[in-house]
Structure 1
Amino acid sequence: MSSLPLSSAGGIGQIMALRKQIIQRSDLLRQIHAAQGNTQAQVNAGPTLPAEPAGQGFANALETALQNVNAVQGRAESVTTAYQKGEVTDVAKVMLARQEAGIAFEATMQVRNKLLSAYQDIMRMGV
């Protein structure tokens, strides 16, 4: 990294270039997540799903989601480790990977909380 002060034209140019990269990657992530949401909506909307035994669809979906969250966290950890070793110099890439992992974990926790609440409500029901 250069030792130029941030007030110099080069430093400001670098900051603006990083900002532009962050915005572009953020937009790309939004597009990817929107496309995944549309695909998921199509899967949930139609009778084109193959018939699965009761409970298998939910269990498989939950397992797949947890594996995806684990993969996202693994990628974030590997990018962070690579940055610490000096192999990756793009701070924006590291920050985006860590944010994505954090958001995926928070979403997983929200789903867990809702499932636990639903389970508790069912257990309180009288037979």
Structure 2
Amino acid sequence: MTDSISSVLSQIRAYQSQLGQAPRVAGDMARSDAIQGLQGLQAPGQAGAVSGPSFSETLRSAIDGVSAAQEKAGALQRAFERGDPGADLARVMVASQQSQVAFRATVEVRNRLVQAYQDVMNMPL
């Protein structure tokens, strides 16, 4: 758990340095100041907001990519079974392994999101 927290903190610090903000130490702000600091942020639909894909769009495109990899592997497998000369065993196996790795990664992301949600919900107020 400590490794994952330090990993997330290092990623946040890297993003802050990319944005030109100085990284803050946890004790630099009081909790009420941290919440007040968020008041200047705009909602995603407002003018002047940073443009970019939302979390749900990113997640949806990742899931679509996994689905496409699985469909490609299935199509190659069916072509190999029919005896199509363009579908050799090596291509079928590589596509199958790629789709399997992508699916496992998606399941792991889902598990981590569920765990993060449970951690947040179990935090004392």
Tell me which interval the TM-score lies in, with the shorter structure as reference length: 0.5 to 0.7
TM-score between both structures, scaled by the size of structure 1? 0.57
> 5+ residue gaps in structure 1?
1-43
- Corresponding residue pairs, total: 80
Partner residue, 2:30:
none
Partner residue, 1:111:
109
TM-score between both structures, scaled by the size of structure 2? 0.57
Identity %: 36
Could you tell me whether the CA contact under 8 Å between 2:66 and 2:103 is conserved in 1?
A: yes
Question: Post-superposition, which runs of at least 4 consecutive aligned residues in structure 1 deviate over 4 A?
Answer: 44-47
> 5+ residue gaps in structure 2?
1-14, 20-48
Distance in 1 of aligned mates of 2:87 and 2:59: 35
Give matches, 1:1-127, under 5 Å. Answer: 51-52=50-51, 57-87=54-84, 88-127=86-125
Distance in 1 of aligned mates of 2:112 and 2:93: 29
Tell me how large the CA RMSD over aligned residues is: 2.2
Distance in 1 of aligned mates of 2:78 and 2:18: 43
Distance in 2 of aligned mates of 1:103 and 1:83: 21
Task: Return closer, same or farther for 1:89/1:79 CA change in 2, 3 Å cut-off.
Answer: closer
Distance in 2 of aligned mates of 1:105 and 1:120: 23
1:57-110, Cα deviation, whole Å (9 max, x unpaired): 111110110000000000000000111111144110000000000000011011
Could you tell me whether the CA contact under 8 Å between 2:76 and 2:87 is conserved in 1?
A: no
User: Greater share of helix residues, 1 or 2?
Assistant: 1
